Structure 1
């Protein structure tokens, strides 16, 4: 057995609220899977080699994604359209994006995956430094907190760039410093996560909403919002409850995008579900795994447990693999996965969905011969 390669650089302690964290994640070498051992080969490992193998395998299973699902691919295509169309001269405002979907559908993962690809592409093409000698940071990401105001938002921008003036100043001064950072570092995408925390119709919410318009007008970036039920919360509202036209410009300039759960209502969708399970199955490193362990034996079960939500599915598989490795089961089956706890939303929907499958009203199994083509053409 070859010794597993160490994780370099370690990514378990990074934060995406700092530029160095995003760069570390974007530019880290591709993670290599542990060697797939037989039960006997694993038993023959020395105590120290076994500990190292299990550590490597645990980290691998905790980071199986993202899977290139149809939802992720479609979102990326839309994002490329918008970002590349925003290459207008600086006197023109850029169109914004709002990725709006329920929790557990992978919207943040998908947007982050796109942002990392964009970072790598720009750095490879243009270099790590600008013509003026500044560090180039193609992407900036800010996560919102509850009741955030304009000053706190601008400070978060400065914290991302580690600007020396981030500790003191007015909201307007922070905004000017943030603009300097964006211009000098040639940032082109500004990701704002957890936008649903913003209270649009109170003072802070209206203030930050107006600030987004300022950013769209003055910053040469594509604003990319991520959140839950943004339309219902007021992102696209033409007027506030006080009758002021405060959000109309944001609505006109923002393109809504979404991600949907997997459905199995027709043959095409059942084939997509199977392809995704086959791709996931290939990444699992368990000594007793076998072809069809997920896609054949557990297809219905996994859909019932997760209701087609990719976030719940990845959590279930990750935790299941951790338990299978730790207990020596070395494969995934219903008995083992029944012991794995999952999010409350998935568990609430499980019983009703299980009844439909038991009555034959639903299935994840493709009925046509076309499904066999998925064996050779699984998603990467």
Structure 2
């Protein structure tokens, strides 16, 4: 390992066309080799720095992992998008992925969108009949102060088009790009920023209805507590929901957290940990290091939330590498900080697990007996 070295992070933005294409078209990241402790100890200083940097990046980007929840969400998205083959005069129903934070919903949706992009390119080719680059998916995110102009601007920004002009000019520019580039799906993340109790946000929500009639696409919205914010009821009460167009045009899909209250849930949790184990590049790792030795511990530290789990493991791996332990243990992981939400719920879950009121181990009852 000699010469100039750059980090292995792929610092693209999937909110712009160049970054989106990079995400969809770049080959999978190569996994660093699993070296022995003796081989690591024999490395020169720079060689070791490079190897450890590669492992940091690898551990920070493990996944997506096709859990049952993940697969079910993909199936639901595929069903709606695949059935939305209506002609241009008809409005295509939308999808709302509504789930708690930290469950990996954005990751799961982007993974679906990435595969959909690849399939559409394989099916139809990289260019449209008019000779334009084919871009089957548009990806944008909302902000807390979203406006109609800002929404149209975000779509134009994705296509790397000029962002000058009023809201109508930007909408026309975005609509033309969507049609000429063969876009059929638009992902809109952080839809929960729309609060239908606010007048200006209701205006933006109505603009989404307009876009769904002029853009020949399926909108996939991603957010937290979307129904509670009135997005599915046009801001109306549940009693008046029949009057809401959105409720008839949107299908909600969940992404539940991992649960260990059932045998099925415990089996899913164990399989997840076994899958992660295989991906770790630590010299002293062993089968069951996560799934057996740390199963309860990791559930308590992550509260069954995928993002919290992967953050904890990535940080734990970095500490294991720097301390030369090269494996994960509860003693080492106790020194690793996790996100605030996971840490706040940790004590109660850990107590339930230690008292035998809860277990993550398949084949055991809540009293911990086999």
TM range (shorter): over 0.9
Q: Which residue of 2 aligns with 1:264?
A: 260
CA RMSD after TM alignment: 2.2
Spell out structure 1 runs of 4+ moving beyond 6 A.
Answer: 6-9, 243-247
Greater displacement, 244-253 / 204-213? 244-253
Match of residue 287, structure 2, among 273, 282, 291: 291
Q: Which residue of 1 aligns with 2:193?
A: 197
Map of 1:20-59 to 2, 5 A cutoff? 20-59=18-57
Match of residue 170, structure 2, among 151, 171, 174: 174
How far, CA to CA, are the matches of 2:5 and 2:109 in structure 1? Answer: 24
Structure-2 change in CA distance of 1:14 and 1:239 (3 Å): closer
Structure-2 change in CA distance of 1:301 and 1:247 (3 Å): farther
Equivalenced residues, count: 362
Q: Which residue of 2 aligns with 1:106?
A: 104
* Conserved 8 A contact 1:239-1:246: no
Structure 2: runs of 5+ lacking an equivalent: 365-370
Q: Deviations over 1:329-369 (max 9, x none)?
A: 1000001111110111111111111111111111111117x
* Conserved 8 A contact 1:98-1:224: yes
* Conserved 8 A contact 1:69-1:276: yes
- Structure 2 residue matching 1:224: 3-state secondary structure: strand
How far, CA to CA, are the matches of 2:242 and 2:7 in structure 1? Answer: 45
Map of 1:219-368 to 2, 5 A cutoff? 219-240=215-236, 248-367=244-363
Q: Which residue of 2 aligns with 1:14?
A: 12
Q: Which residue of 1 aligns with 2:368?
A: none
How far, CA to CA, are the matches of 2:325 and 2:225 in structure 1? Answer: 41
Query: Deviation of residue 12 (structure 1)?
Result: 3.1
Q: Provide the TM-score with structure 2 as the length reference.
A: 0.93
Query: Deviation of residue 220 (structure 1)?
Result: 0.8
How far, CA to CA, are the matches of 2:233 and 2:347 in structure 1? Answer: 37
Greater displacement, 44-53 / 348-357? 44-53
Greater displacement, 50-59 / 67-76? 50-59
Is 1:118 matched with 2:116?
Answer: yes
* Conserved 8 A contact 1:65-1:314: no
* Conserved 8 A contact 2:229-2:235: no
How far, CA to CA, are the matches of 2:293 and 2:240 in structure 1? Answer: 57
Query: Deviation of residue 208 (structure 1)?
Result: 1.0
- Structure 1 residue matching 2:153: 3-state secondary structure: helix
Q: Provide the TM-score with structure 1 as the length reference.
A: 0.91
Match of residue 210, structure 2, among 203, 209, 214: 214
How far, CA to CA, are the matches of 1:7 and 1:223 in structure 2? Answer: 41
